[in-house]
Amino acid sequence: MRMHLALLTTLVASACAGEDGVSYLTDLNDEAAGANCPSGGVKITTGPDDNGNGSLDADEVAQTKYVCGNRTLTDVVAEAPGTNCPAGGVKISQGADTNGDGTLQTGEATSTQYICGSAEAVVAKAFRMPGVAVNTGMPTTILGATIQAKGAGDILAIGSSDLFCTPTECPAGNPAASAYMWIADEANTVAPNVDYDFVYLQPNLTQSLTRTVFFPVTQAGAYTYNLRGQDVVGDLTFYRTGLTLVYLP
């Protein structure tokens, strides 16, 4: 029996009836940086649904595991005209999210690059920590963002998301268990044939996908882009998801 996932709330990730007719449930929750995961991660609890209410209550938890790790983040901010970009542009910083707050702090950045243009860029950011469940091979919008372009130019879209699935949802050894992620404009809601990023899924393992796309624009206006995902032979959750849009004149 497959059920949708929704992180940061009590959820049924998988339920399998045993010989006694009791369903066994799995809950996933983000684990803040601390003793269990120095840099944060995911807490996985499992146990029997003894009272049959479809939720894993505290007294029903039989096993607890943690999947720890640092998430690599990319931060983009506008760069004013100056030494790094004579006419302005954007500053792109990357590094590990060592404190697990979903934001790249100054001390976490390990590399910095600049993309220069003809004027100072515009930057719009969106981030969500709760998970978005995808299953049955249906494309799903994970996160959307809108940016205001000042005129003709290019919009750089940078998306990233962590992925997680349980052994029931993507059984170990199944070579077809996988996921796609792509960035679409507001009018494009179908899955692309070839233009996507892709990862094979491993159960109980946090994996990451990143995607970078340029969209040319011909006039000033508000432009919306969506980070979208789809599973292939395996249900999963996209969580700790970020989408950054940069208008480059």
**CB–CB of 56/3 below 8 Å?**
no
Question: What whole-number distance in Å separates Cα of residue 104 and Cα of residue 112?
Answer: 12
| Residue 50 domain-assigned (yes or no) | yes
Q: Is 222 or 44 the better-scoring residue by pLDDT?
A: 222
Per-residue DSSP letter, 8 = T
Q: Does one domain contain both 218 and 128? A: yes
Q: How high is the pLDDT of residue 28?
A: 65
What pLDDT is stored for residue 223 in this prediction? 95
Q: Is residue 155 included in any domain, yes or no? A: yes
Instruction: Choose the weakest-confidence range: 13-27, 118-132, 153-167, 224-238.
Output: 13-27
Per-residue pLDDT of 171-190, as tens digits, reads 777 777 888 899 998 777 77
DSSP per-residue codes, 171-236:
-TT-TT-EEEEEEEETT--SPPSS-SEEEE--TT--EEEEEEEEEEE-SSEEEEEEEEEEEESS-E
The string of pLDDT tens digits covering residues 82-117 is 898 888 777 888 887 776 666 778 788 888 888 776
In a domain, 77, yes or no: no
197, part of any domain? yes
Q: Give the chain's mean pLDDT.
A: 77
Same domain, 57 and 130: no
Residues in the chain: 249
In a domain, 90, yes or no: no
pLDDT at 16 over 50: no
**Domain around 47:** 16-68
Q: Cβ-count burial of 111 within 10 angstroms (0-12 exposed, 13-18 middle, 19+ buried)? A: exposed
124 and 224 both lie in a single domain: yes
Burial class (CB in 10 A: 0-12, 13-18, 19+), 191: middle
Q: Residue 225: its pLDDT value, please?
A: 95
Look at residue 57 and tell me whether its pLDDT is greater than 50: yes
Mean pLDDT, rounded, for 51-60: 80
Residue range 34-39: average pLDDT? 76
* CATH assignment at residue 214: 2.60.120.760
Give residues with Cβ within 8 angstroms of 177, minimum separation 6: 165, 170, 171, 200, 201, 232, 233, 234
Which DSSP helix (H) or strand (E) runs through 153? strand 153-164
Q: What angle do CA 23, 26, 30 make, to 5 degrees?
A: 160
Residue 225 belongs to a domain: yes
Other Cβ atoms less than 10 A from the Cβ of 167: the count is 12
Q: Please tell me the total count of domains within the chain.
A: 2
**221 occurs within a structural domain:** yes
Average pLDDT over residues 239-249: 86
The rounded Cα 149 to chain-centroid distance in angstroms is 25
- pLDDT tens-digit readout, 19-31: 344 556 666 677 7
Asked if residue 93 belongs to a domain, the reply is no
Residues 142 and 33 in one domain: no
**Across 24-33, 140-149, 210-219, 222-231, least confident range:** 24-33
> Do 212 and 135 share a structural domain?
yes
Greater confidence (4 vs 34) lies with 34
Residue 133 tokens read as: 């469940």
> In DSSP terms, which residues pair with 89 in a beta bridge?
79, 116
